[in-house]
Amino acid sequence: MEAYNKYMDKITVPDSLHQRLVCCMKDSGPKRGLVKTRRYAAAFTFFAVVLLGFFRLPKLLPHTTAPMPGASAKYTLEFNKADGQLANKINIPGHFWQELTTKEIKAVFPTLVNTHAIKATAHFQSDENGTTLFNIDADAKSVSGFEAYIQIAPGEIVLDYVFDSETKSTDVLGTMVTAGYFETKPNSNGIREIIYFASFKLADVAYYVELGGIEAEKEVLKSEIFELVGHLIEGGAADLGVFQPVVPELREERLDLEEARADIDFGSYLPATLPGGFVFEDALRIINQEQNALYANWSKGMGYIKWRVSFPDDNAKARITSVADTKNYDLALYPIPRADSVPEKLCEIVDNPVFLINELTLETVRARTYEVSEQGDISGPRMRFSVLYGDILVELSAKGVSAEAMFNILQQIKNRN
């Protein structure tokens, strides 16, 4: 994993990807549904795992505002205020996952299945020592319509919140529970979110639960998490021996340039020659449940060329555009900040359009090239787009490369394939 970690450290977020994130976060007024962030996320790969790196702002589904009968009377928790968070990135060798079956859900949540609708995913790691369970990532929806997040792990769960004072724990049915809450800043409509969370252990199984919503519903949220924690403790430690995982095809291998170009699937879609001064940095061949791809990086000072070759998925196919449809890709139509200029429905395709190689022209590449002036960074052309060569997708991001040079690279790849 050391080689992979070094590779990940060199990956930067392209300016246009940043524009996409900003574009897709437009404030469109008050909404009941909030974006639910995934616990497991990493740029360009699914092997780097962010554990509890950010509180999930839950999707607020339609629900009643009455607490569950007897909840506050039967279960109580003392909530410690969380002052901040620490970012924890954990790399899991041979990470793969599978959705829990009905039988497995009953074994892991023996009591909670009676009060909540549960969807869960088990995450495993596979290495030379065999296959082991890393943790379980679950969503549990109560009859009131609130959706809570639950994480279960053998031994310990890596938590990232910090408290602004000494914490106090609560005895719930003989189990010590440490609970807390975190408040967000008000959004543009003055609405503040509040997230309640709790952690505890049953035998050698660790639990973390989280539930959030708007501040006006905090009493109901408290009642919900009281009930949730109580049901989990009443059910006893989860049976983590119920799983029989099947290891999928997994590959994670750092390559030199010669090895990368020799890759039977994607090697011939790497640039044969680079503009003067660019030197090869590293390459990664990766296969898992989410992707089958070859990555390569070149650099020149603060300039870079980042290359990803893969088979196109449905998302990429949806971003295919004709060069005649300039609204889908011509950056001259969308001044920076693009959060203000790109229509919301075009965010995805404008960020990273996919062109058919037989339609690609120099003018098209020029339309994807732009310059920005940022303190501490080099000036020069930047670009991000993708090209489809039959059934092979090339995704590229570059800084410090002219449109003419990039067009020539892409044509050379066409000529030898």
Q: How many CB atoms lie within 10 A of CB 189?
A: 9
Q: Which residues of the chain have pLDDT under 50?
A: 1-22, 24-73
Token pair, residue 85, equals 């968070």
Q: DSSP labels for 217-279?
A: GHHHHHHHHHHHHHHHHHT-S--TT---------EEEEE-HHHHHT-TTTGGGS-SS--TT-E
Classify residue 390 by its DSSP letter.
T
The contacts found for 40-43 with CB under 8 angstroms, 24 or more apart, are 40/123, 40/137, 42/8, 42/89, 43/8, 43/11, 43/13
Q: Residue 160: its pLDDT value, please?
A: 63
Q: Residue 166: its pLDDT value, please?
A: 74
Q: Residue 353: its pLDDT value, please?
A: 98
Q: Residue 130: its pLDDT value, please?
A: 86
Q: Residue 152: its pLDDT value, please?
A: 95
3-state helix, strand, coil in the chain (%, to 5): 25, 35, 40
109 touches 152 (CB < 8 A): no
Domain ranges of the chain: 31-234, 251-416
Q: Rounded distance, CA 32 to CA 57, Å? A: 11
316 touches 307 (CB < 8 A): no
Q: Which amino acid is at 298?
A: W
The burial class, CB within 10 Å (0-12 / 13-18 / 19+), for 133 is: middle
Nearest to 284 by CA among 41, 7, 96: 7
The length of the chain in residues reads 417
Q: Residue 191: its pLDDT value, please?
A: 85
Token pair, residue 314, equals 């449905």
